[in-house]
Amino acid sequence: MNSAAPARPLAPSTPPAPPAPSPLPRLLRTALQVFGLIAFWYGADRAATALGLPFSGGVLGLFVLVALLLGKAVRPAAVEDGAEWLLSNMLLFFIPLVVSVVQFTGLLKSDGLRLFAAIAIGFISVLLASALTVEWVCRIARGRRLRRLRQMRRPRAMAATRARP
Q: Is the pTM of this model over 0.75?
A: no
Confidence of residue 165 (pLDDT cuts 50, 70, 90): low
Q: Which of 32-46, 48-62, 96-110 has the lowest mean pLDDT?
A: 96-110
- Cα torsion 158, 163, 164, 165 to 10°: value is 130
Residues 6 or more apart whose CB falls under 8 angstroms from that of 101 comprise 108
Segment 101-129 mean pLDDT: 85
